[in-house]
Structure 1
């Protein structure tokens, strides 16, 4: 195994293991990899609260990268690793990351919001416990997705209010929006945040200009050309985009949310986009899948239901379903008897934004 790369991060590294590696928050190498190889979950890794592990064997042409959230005794690996789409390589990278985290860093590892293929690898080959309590809401623009009566009604409402839609094109090398547009968007986002109430739980914060090179910015404007909504798409693998942020400002005419998303779906259809994903949303209950059973999982299921009800975590999926999204299950995996209530609480605390 190669020599671990140096890092100027303040994190400490261990030299007692072949897995010695310094996790860092220096992520200049990461955006291009996410756009080429990443999933909707890996777009969150660019935020400061996510740490990044790179194998000593990592190369830009042959990536071996894992983003994770540290919390107490846990490392929550967020999504599958970024690597070549080969089962043997995914197995190798996951094994290397887990050994580094458990043996060198003495942490417990849980893989969160991973796809079904990767969850099967962890459940069958690692013999980990696997459950599903999250889904990814995906739509394919080549199939008409605006047939729901409420969606059509709201799009017509926005049309009657003379809402118009456009995309701002950010140019190299700065990929910066015009200052007046930036100020207007940020002021609208501030009004939107001021109107939210209670604790918010999400895997990603609101950072509109993060990795602008690989983002697309669609706007809705009212009849006075005032910006009343924004939808930001993040480029990911397989000619797809994640709907990273879709925010309708408090003073927007009725139907603006549906109108803007409908416009984007039509644009993606015209461009031949493979898929649009809203990202992950919670399901109403836990579904045990591998190496789970007994009273512990029943207790965990009851605790999860209470959290979902308290924070309304399933509500996002209900809105997205109006656009004809397809539910693709996502999974949580962990070594047997290593997660439980303390792990669930730790994860939810991390998600409070």
Structure 2
């Protein structure tokens, strides 16, 4: 149909019939002949419709096959990004066009009456990542070149005839997709001098990173996996459900919760759909599955942990026994693995360019081992835990043990996929059904890919009385989960199920090495930095210069002879609120001969108890930690490492197989954003002190003798007024290392000293530590709140964006990595008793007045290397 007829057909229809027909002006005297402008617009619309139709058809087929199956001189029209531009001369140039994972070469050359030199020059100036609409014809590569090796379409290129810009970058790109897309082998060549895009840069600019063919392929496989998951379960009469992501309390042991304010009432983000799945079974839905977000508030900065991931969960009623669940889930995994390898071969090969790996190997019949059999395999292979003991069939596997067992299974059965059955009951959640023949074990299992767990499942307890008893044993009140428990009280069939972490499966299947590459927009404990790490560190460094002169020492500079960098300088360059204690004479400070790095520790009952990270560059932590642990072995001391951050904890637990718990938190705040009058009590005390005429004086560096004597007298009064046993990392010694201290002294209108706040300079990214904040006997009530508020405001005005009160006790002990259920219960009981008896959290509660946020710190120890003696040693260091 011509453009004119198409326009006319849209203007009227025969009222007596539903079918369109030709019309004359007599039919509608009010209609006029379309103008030339209307005709041109309609022709443009028709052309766009034709192009859209062509592109839609092309998207239905594989792009590479669609092009390579065509004929020479066939016209093409497509929209793509400019991936690369290369000029040969003023009259000819090459462009590489990119559509998702496919690329094709374009040639733009001067043609008399069609393409001018100006057009070629204009195209040379196109920015990479510009979106263009290209018209042209397919042609074979130029003579002497059989195919184009740098694109995915090899045997054709496009002779460009028209080129239109649809959109282009308006700011410089953080990196070029063409550079980020280079194969890993090219990037790793020693003589290759072009820029390599780092992991942090990629994640910080995720939208650009996602444009690379490798990332495009990963998320096609990502989508394919969920498609195969649904496809299999739909064929088995399962119903897809969508459970609530708000819960009153959690059900998964070892998984922390994100607390939310639910209209003034406490609630939590769901750490799994477990409650909803089981309620659906109690409601006779019989077979259900869900694909949805899962939230875990676990401060684990490892290669395999995220705080938010996609869960693929299954629950089903059981007819005979729990092996029905295991059989079905096994068949499902095999369906997914076969489907990925058969349907996504091109995508897998694309991923291999940047993540080289061997194809995933699995058998038609999956090997199934009892947990005890897996432990026996480890023992026969000579596997030992970190403390030198044999692995136990009554405790869960550590990450390192899992990986070693995966290697042994691969050697024996020649598969990357296997099942471990009959887990110890102590390592499973409260709702897991015990083994009826041995209540040390359970009717539960894990599935493993490439030596790492990807699915946990088993039979659930369906008897209400047994469930309530298990809940109480786990410290949960059944009435707090009444909606959940009622389903069992009203009668629930035997059932079981399991859950898969989608991102972890993708990571292991494609051997990506880091789960963040398998998550579209990964969320981990370091996400949502308020100002960005670099800007915080820069601002903090500048702010410190405004208040104090920064240190010169480093652990990466070449050392002159045997001279060690001064400890005080290392604390100011690398330290946090724990390291500042090491200047106290009660500490032993080990120094690394190679780097000059330092670790502070105390000895008690055969333990060497270190507090705080090693003082060194982050990249040196493994080297320094190994040297320090070697020194302890020579001294016959057992190591415990307290108050370390996520970087150090990750090395100790992932690389050395240590266990870790969270008992302490770094209590930090942002002085530049602190609202000091948000707390009513603080606000009231500040106003009272203003009326009292309290004045605060600042002293930087050396404190004069008269003021020191006056302060020493006040400190003696303060010490005499203290009662009860005190837990601390250092004595009150405010005049150590005065070069890295700031002193704020509050006096009343009579000139008497009422309060003292001392700031210690620490690493630039951490800003300052409020080392001591003391209110002296006889001072007006509120003196310390007033003085602290003054100091925090002073830091904020100087641009300091990070400060800390140092470590404070957590309300409860939390498991972090590689801790068995039995060990955790013993540690929790000991910690809670001591914390309650000695009011360990009082200091933390006081600090909350100033808007502190808690950043978990870890207590790490070799697996099996701590018990009641170790707990006592940690708390009995003074």
Q: What's the counterpart of residue 194 of structure 1?
A: 720
Match of 1:42 in 2: 579
2:623 aligns with one of 74, 81, 92: 92
1:155-166, aligned counterparts within 5 Å?
155-166=686-697
Select which of 129, 140, 144 maps to 2:670: 140
Deviation at 1:296, TM superposition (A): 2.4
C-alpha distance after superposition, 1:67-114 (max 9, x if no partner): 11122311111111011122xx21111111112212x11111011000
Whole-Å separation in 2 of the counterparts to 1:284 and 1:247: 23
**Residue 595 of structure 2: aligned partner:** 58
The question of whether the paired residues in 2 share the 8 Å contact of 1:132 and 1:287 is answered with yes
CA contact (8 A) 1:27 1:46 kept: no
1:122 to 652, 656, 668: 652
Distance 1:27 1:195, change over 3 A: farther
Please report how far the alpha carbon of residue 28 of structure 1 lies from its aligned counterpart in structure 2 after TM superposition.
8.0
| Contact 2:666–2:804 under 8 Å retained in 1 | yes
Q: Alpha-carbon deviation of 1:286? A: 1.0
Task: Specify which of 312, 315, 318 is matched with residue 839 of structure 2.
Answer: 312
The 2-side partners of 1:41 and 1:123 are apart by 21
SS of the aligned residue for 2:662 comes to: strand
Residues 238, 274 of structure 1: 8 Å contact kept: no
RMSD of equivalent CA atoms: 1.5
Say whether the 8 Å CA contact 2:674–2:850 is kept in structure 1.
no
Structure 1, unpaired ranges of 5+: 1-25
Structure 2 residue 707 is the aligned partner of structure 1 residue 181: yes
Give, in angstroms, the shift of residue 163 of structure 1: 0.7
Pick from 603, 608, 612: which aligns with 1:75? 608
- Is 1:215 the counterpart of 2:741? The answer is yes
Q: TM-score, normalised by structure 2?
A: 0.35
1:156-305 mapped onto 2 (5 Å cutoff): 156-170=687-701, 175=702, 177-238=703-764, 240-305=767-832
Q: Which residue in the other structure is 2:849 paired with?
A: 322
| Alignment coverage as a number of residue pairs | 314
Question: Which residue of the partner structure matches residue 860 of structure 2?
Answer: 333
SS in 2 for 1:39: coil
Flag the structure with more relative contact order, 1 or 2, with Cα contacts below 8 A and sequence separation at least 6: 1
Contact 2:700 2:741 in 1 (8 A): no
Is the 1:81–1:94 contact (alpha carbons within 8 Å) kept by the matching residues of 2? yes
How far apart are the structure 2 equivalents of 1:297 and 1:113?
Answer: 18
Deviations 1:157-185 (A, max 9, x none): 11111111111233xxxx2x222211111
Give 2:635's aligned residue. 105
SS in 1 for 2:671: coil
For 1:34 and 1:164, the matched residues in 2 are separated by 31
SS at match of 1:198: coil
Q: Which runs of 5+ in 2 are unaligned?
A: 1-562
**Alpha-carbon deviations, 1:215-258, whole Å to 9, x = none?**
11001110111111101111000161111111000111121111
